[in-house]
Amino acid sequence: MRLRLMMFLTLMVLMIGLIGCTTDPKDDEDPDNGIQDPNGNGTPNGDDPVPSVHRPENVDLSSGDLSGWTIASGNAFDDAFVSDAQVDTSGRPIERDSAFYFGHGDEARTGVLESAPFVIGGTGIMTFRLGGGSMVPLTYLSVVRASDQIELYRFANASQESTESVLIAYQADLSASLGTEVFLRVVDDAVANGGMILFADIEPYHPELPHLDSYISAENIAPDFEDTALAPYQLENGDFATRTLAGWTVHGETGVFQDSHINANGRLSNRPNETAVGLLRSGAFTVGGQNLMSFRLGATKHPELTYMVVRRVGTNEEVFRTWSDRWQDIHEEATHLYYIDLRAYEGEQLYLEFVDNARGDWGLLTLEQVRTHYTERPLVTDEIAVNLHAPYLSDPQYTVMRSYVDPLIAQIEDETERLTFEKTFYSTLDGFSNRIGNFPSVTEYRRNGNTFIITGDIPAMWLRDSAAQVLNYLQFMTVDEEVRLMVRGLLTQQFEQIRRDPYANAFNADGSVWERKFEIDSLCYPIWLADEYYHITGDASLFDAFFEMTVARILDTFEAEQNHDDANYRMESEYDRQFGTHEVNTDTNLIWSAYRPSDSPTYYKFYIPGNMFAVATLERIDALMTELGLDPVLAERARIMAAEVRADIEQYGVYHHPEFGRMYAFEVNGFNDDPHSPTGKRFRDIANIPNLLSAPWLGYVPQDDPTYQNTRAFVLSSHNPYFHEGTYARGIGDPHDIVWRTRPHDDYPVPWHLGLVMQAMTTDDPDEIRLMVDYMVNTTAGTYVMHEGFYANNPNIYSRDWFTWPNALFAHVYLTEIIGFNLLED
């Protein structure tokens, strides 16, 4: 009996030992089986710490700074704003359990703060304190799935108290996402009306349910869209045809959009409650068709407070923010049409938010005609929405470029050369001063990112001149972001002008046409510059749907002028219409041109240098669009037209000169394809570019092409009626010149600086380059800048004091050929 009792006791001891060694399966998941202590370092009794997998580093700010967190953007979050203060500046206590909290009173700051990733565990309950953020949709705490950035939960301070001391205790149930790796995101996107967020006591891990009596249950306000895979292409009720907010949801203060007035034409205005703040959120839509959306927006006087946002469904990532940049007091609630290119999100689901965070002083929005689907490409001129997050120039200093160029200037020993290079190099951006007077910058920077550049003494922007006026700056796009933005802005301005009127050559600052002289090169220079921009910077963002519209406009115009009809374009000047002959052979594929690049009328309407530039331009369009995966139909059209025009230049635009051999004609009527007959062909060349001399620079032929070399020899000889020779220089002039017009050619030689600089740009002979530079430096009449034409026997007689096109070309040649500086060379 005693033996049996001993065996029983031994067995009981063994069983108790085994039980003591057994681990609860629940403990495998949550080894810290207790409630987190206020300092967040362990269980209430100070046992084992919470595993870091469930609790990100410094989530409670116990280190007294933001270590363990990442400042994703903006200036709202900084170590300096982590405080251990117990009372605020008014002496009120700052309630919290932990030693530190985050907070500041600067509403103007915005930004995003993100924690390290962690796995939702324990009970799935998260507790935290929030303060500030009276604009609930713009200041909040999110829980984001780490694998795909999907925002699972969003919580905001529902108390609407925006003081610097009120921290409200909240609890949120995340149990539906147990085992999911996430991170926390704190967002401050408001700049007024309580536009700040405070937080403390964030505890994402509770292995057992804590006492929640003192916690407010936080509402998940993350945007939620049902059946997003079935989201339509056209936004539901985007035109407000129902005269209700069906398909839309309102978030914010009572009455902010609920009281909106929607008139019979579907225009929504939230003016009835101008003091309330909040946002209007659309349903989801799928990007497709032409990948464009349009809308009419107005009354957004304060873009930092009232604006429209495009977001991705799921991640809620903001992909575009804009406002009505045409708002004026006198127009009150008038709306304006805008387009956004959404091709980067093709096939994705997006939604819109219209934010009103302004109280009074036109703190409202007007909205109508939201269209998210186009089956055909519309024609858009300047109705392009401006992305408020896109960088733009207001007062650029070009510091990096100057750090390269200024030391080079200082090293030039010859004073005349030094002053000439300095003034010509900076003339487009800075202007210049000389013995004649002070000439300001010709460059204007616009809030929409565009750059408007006038030619100089004429207050208008030429498509041709403006492109050439930045040639000397292009290489610096690789090192100076301001230079890149300036050139990019010039291109978007040029594209807008082409879409507005492809027959115009010059435009006023307000977008109206200054002069409507159709010159082929006006449509070529912007493409040349765009090609240079892309291959220097690698920035493909410029080449969007609006670029495609520009290309379509160019191709349509070239194709129309292959079979010119006065119904499409008619020369406005009666004098110009009487010059030369308008009869051409429309069976050719050559492109008709009313004017030369000098803005003088053509005699025969097939201007060969212009057609050469068109060929090079069409080939650039084809290559660009193919490389960038843009519209293949446009690329094919450009490729076919380039081949057609090139073939007919070689058939109708050449002549076997008895002295120079096979060479290119200047203008032809297209009726004579006999290379040995001069009938219907003109043989000469002028200084304005494109000219025959510039053919290799245009990209039409290699510089060593035999036909080009024969042509060049002709152009730079007395056989060319516009080749001028005098005491101080010899080179090409132009009949479009006020110096020469009043005097006989033979007795008054007037070369142009443009002709001299292009001669330097089309030779590899250093002696010829140096000679052209010497001609130009010594014929400025003591102004140290280039002119139009000058009297070769007395350079003090010249035309145009303020002409920045030849300045840019001279500066480019001097920098790259004389100084030998080129960042683009290996």
Question: CA–CA separation, 214 vs 45, rounded Å?
Answer: 22
Architecture of domain 70-217: Sandwich (2.60)
pLDDT tens-digit series, residues 532-587: 999 999 999 999 999 999 999 999 999 999 999 999 999 999 999 989 888 999 99
- 3-state SS of 161-217? CCCCCCCEEEEEECHHHCCCEEEEEEEECCCCCCCCEEEEEEECCCCCCCCCCCCEE
Angle at 463 between CA 461 and CA 469, to 5 degrees: 75
- 3-state SS of 94-152? CCCCCCCEECCCCCCCCEEEECCCEECCCCCEEEEEEEECCCHHHEEEEEEECCCCCEE
pLDDT tens-digit series, residues 259-312: 788 998 899 988 777 778 889 999 999 999 999 999 999 887 788 888 999 999
Question: CA–CA separation, 575 vs 682, rounded Å?
Answer: 21
Beta strands in 525-582 (DSSP E): none
Name the residue ranges covered by the structural domains of the chain. Answer: 70-217, 228-371
Class of domain 228-371: mainly beta
pLDDT of residue 678: 97
pLDDT of residue 565: 93
Question: CA–CA separation, 507 vs 66, rounded Å?
Answer: 53
Contact 359/306 with Cβ under 8 angstroms? no
Contact 751/724 with Cβ under 8 angstroms? yes
Contact 460/515 with Cβ under 8 angstroms? yes
| Identical topology for domains 70-217 and 228-371 | yes
For 377, the token pair is: 């490409």
Angle at 242 between CA 236 and CA 246, to 5 degrees: 50
pLDDT tens-digit series, residues 393-429: 999 999 999 999 999 999 999 999 999 999 999 999 9
Pairing of strands 216-217, 268-269: unpaired
DSSP state of 789: B
Beta strands in 470-592 (DSSP E): 506-507, 513-515
pLDDT tens-digit series, residues 116-144: 999 999 999 999 999 987 778 899 999 99
- Predicted model pTM: 0.89
Question: CA–CA separation, 506 vs 522, rounded Å?
Answer: 9
For 305, the token pair is: 């407070």
pLDDT of residue 345: 97
Cis upstream peptide for 459 (omega within 30°): no
Question: CA–CA separation, 119 vs 180, rounded Å?
Answer: 5
Q: Which residues of the chain, if any, have pLDDT below 50?
A: 1-47, 744
pLDDT of residue 343: 96
> Strand, coil or helix: what is 66?
coil
Q: 525-537 and 545-561 helices cross at what angle (nearest 10)?
A: 150
